[in-house]
Copies of this chain bind each other. A is one copy, B any other.
Amino acid sequence: MGHERHPTVRGFRFAGVTAGLKDSGRPDLGLILADRVVPTSAVLTRNRVRAAPVQLAAQRLEQGRARAVLVNSGSANACTGKPGLEAARETTQAVAEALDLKKEAVLPASTGVIGAPLSVGRILDAVPSLVADLSPDGVGRFAEAIRTTDRGPKIAFIQVDAGRGEKATVLGVAKGAGMIHPSLATTLAFVVTDAPMSGAFLNRSLRQAADETFNAATVDGETSTNDAIFAMASGALDAEQIRGSDAVAKRFRGALVDVLGELARSVVRDGEGARKLVRLEVVGAPSQDAARKVAERVARSLLVKTAVHGGDPNWGRIVAAAGMADVAFEPDQVEVRIGTTVVCEKGVAVSGAEGDAARAMAADEYPIRLKLGSGKGKAHYWLCDIGHDYVTLNSEYTT
């Protein structure tokens, strides 16, 4: 997997400019444009309170095809009522007109301050420079434009054998770094590929990959009004259309998981004040769904996250959090492993194991494994620690 400065993907152009939506004066308006109308899918926030751009994107995605995604940072356009929806329509329409597209072919996405109106005028003024900025190697500028509190731009890409000696590219860009403001909290990800595929295949693949990556990662357990992962497939690669069961399909799905996984981990690693990245693995659950429930409960436990912050091998917090997951298991069959050290076996402490476990927890990144001994279900979850910087950033921010 590479992190080159300006990877390109056949069939797509990118742009990123400054419209003046952020007080900082940093880039805040990005655009992805496909050369033609292409299969497009998105996983949108499960929050009942959906920002205006999410509502409009959901509506326009019903046809499963699009040409462009217009993304702004600096304003979430959430909790903004009918004027907010109108603002999303107006700004995407301006892009459509500038590029001579149907307005329905442009999808909106926003991240930034909640409750404040979108500065439509500033975006309209910036559309000409945004369109002029489009280029096949503009992904770096696009990534800059969608940042909020991220430590840096988040780009990941990978190439896979697509048959006929051709390599398909999967390129992803994301923003997200935990929470300063509820929608600076937003996670946005965009993945594009030149591999040819149906809209249905793209949609299925995206949903599966999102479940294994972004939906198995947490900074602080919150889900914003604006969260979204978009995927577009240009089909510009000269290869056979990917079908559900062939070897290329398997490689493509693996690549999608790798790209989204790397982006999701970089979001967790960027969690405000986070210094630790833990891969929590739950095994031996009654089912995969049960394993996932337990993993999520443990990964979101504030006590577990502060123990990780302090490097404290406090396995009791892990077991106690698992006990609240509404999943049947026998507490006296539980095993907990921190790094490579088993600290709890058959539900009780392993004497003398704490030193080794504490040493494992001194690393920036390490695994924790929880074995329930009640079946074959397993799941994983990525989590970070919660430390003082999180509290500082989240309590001292003033609207």
Contact = CB atoms under 8 A, between A and B. Distances in A.
Contact of A48 (B116, B185, B324): B324
A27 interface: no
Interface in A322-354: 322-325, 327-329, 331-332, 334, 344, 346-349, 354
Nearest to A389: B391
B395 A331 contact: no
Contact of A312 (B347, B387, B397): B397
A92 interface: no
B329 A399 contact: no
A231 to B, nearest CB: 24
Contact of A394 (B78, B306, B349): B306
Which of A302, A323, A334 has its CB near the most chain B CB atoms (within 10 A)? Answer: A302
Contact of A328 (B48, B221, B334): B48
Which of A310, A316, A334 has its CB near the most chain B CB atoms (within 10 A)? Answer: A316
Nearest to A343: B115
Which of A306, A309, A392 has its CB near the most chain B CB atoms (within 10 A)? Answer: A306
Chain A, interface size: which category?
35 or more
Contacts of A224: 320
A310 B391 CA distance: 9
A222 B303 CA distance: 8
Which of A49, A181, A221, A328 has its CB near the most chain B CB atoms (within 10 A)? Answer: A49
Interface in A94-133: 114-116
Given A79-B344, A312-B399, A391-B386, A49 B307 contact: no
A221 B81 CA distance: 32
Contacts of A331: 48-50, 79
Contacts of A328: 48
A5 interface: no
A319 B79 contact: yes
Contacts of A245: none
Given A49-B322, A225-B320, A115 B349 contact: yes
Contacts of A347: 79, 81
Contact of A47 (B81, B114, B324): B324
Given A46-B324, A302-B221, A347-B81, A316 B387 contact: no
5 shortest interchain CB distances as A-B pairs: A310-B395, A114-B316, A49-B323, A306-B394, A47-B323
7 contacts: A47-B323, A48-B324, A50-B331, A81-B347, A221-B302, A223-B324, A302-B302
Interface of A: 46-50, 78-81, 114-116, 179, 181-183, 185, 220-225, 301-303, 306-307, 309-310, 312-317, 319-325, 327-329, 331-332, 334, 344, 346-349, 354, 385-388, 390-392, 394-399
